[in-house]
């Protein structure tokens, strides 16, 4: 069945059960798990083991409380504190997290990206587009992974090993048993947890031996002004450095790859929007990208554990697991105005609200937002200028640990005569 036929079938089914709304249109959101409602709940509802927040204002208010709750996503509650001298940025909270964020955010600031990394980003994007032009065909999900890993590795300081090898080792972290945050112990058996530990340690060991340790030796010989250089100068242990590199790799490099694929897919399936994107100046192009990620957030849920009840509203109680449903929040009319499920390049939400909560909010807001948007724009402007054709539509997969989508098998060509792409 083609996507157009599938869209029509969905619309017919929605009209039959009365759930269709004029402003949504058929299949306006492409990546959504089968077990999530297509008509999101924009309020707050208490379930057996969690409180689901789908309201934009409630979610933003809660996330900005910061120290009133702790990280519960990414299986953070099962990671022992004794492993670290300083808990990694992604799963730390309180004063430690705030200090770490202040120290490291400068490496991902827009001014730093523009002054130090724009030339590299543009050069790598040119190489990728040249490869498509010369070979005639590429598998975008593979090439975008190498592109995003290469750029982020330079910022972090993982430059003593090959980009291809680093990318494959980072992918090992996503080889985990299913996690259901709505169930106690994530719905995992003892066997599942043992398998998760084995696979996680395997990935950590590979990353340390092949990437982190060589990079640390290189930094000792030739100090660099990057994340690793800063961590080494500040006295971080080898374990701390390893986990921060793992964090930036899995939470940044690899997820950016997914958004690149989704943005390219949506633009190429909408010729009018694609033409507008290609003709626009960079600020307007980035606005379109933020509208796409609002509808298609790579990470669909943010999980927090309520701590001090006095710092929260009466809606939550100490010990509550809060599930911020990003897909619901991002289509809340309080945020978007009319037609929240429509991809509208003219939507007037303001830059700070344009992406909804796709990059989070408050102390745990993703520091790499501007980098991800900048990389994606650099890549897509060059690829789309070649007038590529979709040879193979991507298959959508789901990662339960990060509650996010994966796009695989996305093949493009420029003339229909290129050889089959090599899987890297």
> What span, in angstroms and rounded, lies between the C-alpha atoms of 379 and 371?
12
* Count of positions (residues) in the chain: 424
Q: Do 235 and 129 contact (CB within 8 A), yes or no?
A: no
CA dihedral sign of residues 284, 285, 289, 295: positive
Rounded to 10 degrees, what is the CA torsion of 88, 94, 95, 96? -10
Rounded CA separation 4/91 (Å): 42
- Partners of 323 in the beta sheet? 52, 303
93: left (phi over 0), alpha (psi -120 to 50) or beta: beta
- Tokens representing 338 are 């009319």
Contacts 24+ apart (CB under 8 A), 383-388: 383/128, 383/129, 383/132, 383/140, 383/264, 383/412, 384/264, 384/267, 384/268, 384/274, 384/277, 384/278, 385/129, 385/278, 386/129, 386/132, 386/133, 386/414, 387/414, 388/132, 388/268, 388/412, 388/413, 388/414
Backbone torsions φ then ψ of 372, nearest 5 degrees: -60, -45
Q: Which string of b and e fits 272-291 if b means at least 16 CB within 10 Å?
A: ebbebbeeeeeeebbbbbbb
Angle among Cα 388, 390, 396 to the nearest 5 degrees reads 135
- What angle, rounded to 10 degrees, do the helices at 369-384 and 254-268 form? 40
CA–centroid distance for 59 within its chain: 18
The answer on whether 366 is annotated among ligand-binding residues is yes
Nearest-angstrom CA–CA distance, 25 and 15 = 11
Helices within 181-295 (DSSP H only)? 190-207, 213-221, 227-233, 238-248, 254-268, 271-279, 282-295
Question: Residues forming the annotated binding site?
Answer: 366
Q: Which residues are annotated as a binding site for heme?
A: 366
């Amino acid at each position: 069945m083609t996507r157009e036929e599938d869209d029509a079938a969905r619309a017919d089914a929605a009209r039959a059960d009365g759930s269709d709304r004029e402003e949504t249109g058929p299949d306006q959101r492409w990546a959504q798990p089968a077990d999530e409602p297509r008509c999101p709940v924009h309020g707050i509802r208490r379930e057996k083991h969690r409180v689901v927040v789908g309201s934009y204002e409630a979610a933003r208010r809660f996330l900005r409380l910061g120290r009133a709750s702790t990280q519960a996503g990414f299986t953070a509650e099962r990671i022992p504190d004794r492993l670290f001298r300083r808990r990694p940025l992604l799963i730390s909270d309180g004063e430690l997290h705030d200090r770490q964020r202040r120290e490291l955010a400068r490496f991902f600031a827009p001014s730093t990206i523009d002054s130090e990394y724009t030339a590299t980003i543009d050069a790598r994007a040119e190489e990728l587009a040249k490869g498509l032009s010369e070979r005639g065909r590429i598998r975008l999900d593979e090439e975008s992974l190498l592109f995003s890993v290469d750029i982020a590795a330079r910022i972090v300081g993982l430059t003593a090993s090959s980009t291809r090898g680093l990318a494959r080792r980072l992918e090992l972290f996503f080889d985990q048993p299913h996690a259901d945050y709505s169930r106690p112990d994530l719905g995992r058996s003892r066997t599942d947890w043992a398998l998760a530990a084995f696979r996680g340690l395997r990935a950590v060991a590979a990353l340390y031996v092949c990437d982190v340790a060589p990079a640390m030796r290189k930094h000792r010989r030739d100090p660099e002004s990057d994340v690793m250089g800063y961590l080494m100068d500040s006295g971080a242990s080898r374990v701390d450095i390893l986990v921060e590199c793992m964090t930036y790799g899995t939470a940044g490099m690899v997820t950016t790859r997914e958004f690149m694929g989704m943005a390219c897919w949506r633009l190429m399936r909408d010729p009018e929007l694609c033409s507008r994107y290609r003709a626009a100046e960079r600020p307007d192009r980035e606005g379109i990208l933020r509208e796409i990620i609002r509808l298609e957030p790579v990470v669909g849920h943010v999980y927090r554990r309520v701590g001090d009840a006095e710092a929260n509203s009466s809606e939550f109680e100490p010990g509550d697991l809060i599930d911020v449903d990003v897909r619901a929040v991002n289509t809340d009319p309080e945020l978007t105005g009319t037609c929240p499920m429509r991809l509208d390049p003219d939507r007037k939400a303001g830059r700070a609200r344009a992406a909804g909560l796709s990059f989070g909010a408050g102390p745990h807001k993703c520091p790499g937002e501007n980098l991800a948007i900048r990389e994606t724009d650099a890549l897509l402007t060059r690829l789309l200028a070649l007038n590529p054709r979709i040879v193979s539509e991507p298959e959508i997969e789901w990662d339960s640990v990060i509650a996010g989508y994966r796009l695989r098998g996305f093949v493009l060509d420029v003339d229909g005569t290129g050889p089959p792409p090599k899987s890297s």
